[in-house]
Amino acid sequence: MIRASIAAFAFALTGTFPLSAQDWVIDAAASEVTAETRVFGQAVTASFAEFSAEITFDPEDLENAQISARVTSGTGTIPNREYQSALVSRDGLYPAEYSEAIFVSDEVVAIDEGYEARGTLTIKGESRDAVLPFTVEISDGRAVAQGTLEILRADFGVGGSSWAEVAPNVTVRLHIEADAG
């Protein structure tokens, strides 16, 4: 449930990018990927310990921007044991069969509030179009990005009959810090 959201938005980037754009190397220790939903009306948050990304981004060269991100589904944790068990179950993210959630951008565009990475999100083998709005501040070769992605867990086969009290939506939050490569 929550884990699906996080996994969905886990950033691991892969691809080949033009040399003119700026490549970024994620500082995993300073970065964070979480997913939040509501269970019985209470907020529940999962944190993912392993994620990676290949990012090519220059605000002056968005045509060559590319984001490819991966989140390791099995590294999601929720403090509540029952919810943790549900997260990694067959109805949850099921990391025994689906080890990663993957996002790959098709394009990155400027919007009034920052940027949007538009592409494909794959969780549990289900791929859907996804739009990840984000902001980024770049200073002295360091980029700090914040993004939020709203997904419907059922679109990715996350949840089952026992999940009636789990909200249908999951909010994936990203805090990514990276250094110029």
What are the extents of the domains in the chain?
A: 2-180
Q: What is the mean pLDDT of the chain?
A: 90
* Gap between the terminal Cα atoms of the chain: 35
User: pTM score, two decimals?
Assistant: 0.87
Q: Which pLDDT belongs to residue 17?
A: 35
Is residue 164 within 8 Å of 29, Cβ to Cβ? no
Handedness of CA 149, 150, 154, 159 (dihedral sign): positive
List the one residue out of 174, 179, 177, 178 whose CA is nearest residue 10: 174
Q: Please answer whether residues 103 and 10 qualify as being in contact, where contact means their C-beta atoms are separated by less than 8 angstroms.
A: yes
From first to last of the 181 residues of the chain, give the pLDDT tens digit. Answer: 333 333 333 333 333 333 457 999 999 999 999 999 999 999 999 999 999 999 999 999 999 999 999 999 999 999 999 999 999 999 999 999 999 999 999 999 999 999 999 999 999 999 999 999 999 999 999 999 999 999 999 999 999 889 999 999 999 999 999 999 9
- Beta strand 76-77 pairing with 66-72: unpaired
Q: Which fold has domain 2-180?
A: Lipocalin (2.40.128)
- Backbone phi and psi for residue 81, each to the nearest 5 degrees, phi listed first: -60, -40
DSSP-derived secondary structure letter, 166: B
Find where tokens 């951008």 sit: 105
Residue-level pLDDT at 60 = 94
Question: Which pLDDT score is estimated for 21?
Answer: 76
Render pLDDT for 73-104 as a digit per residue (tens, 0 to 9).
Answer: 999 999 999 999 999 999 999 999 999 999 99
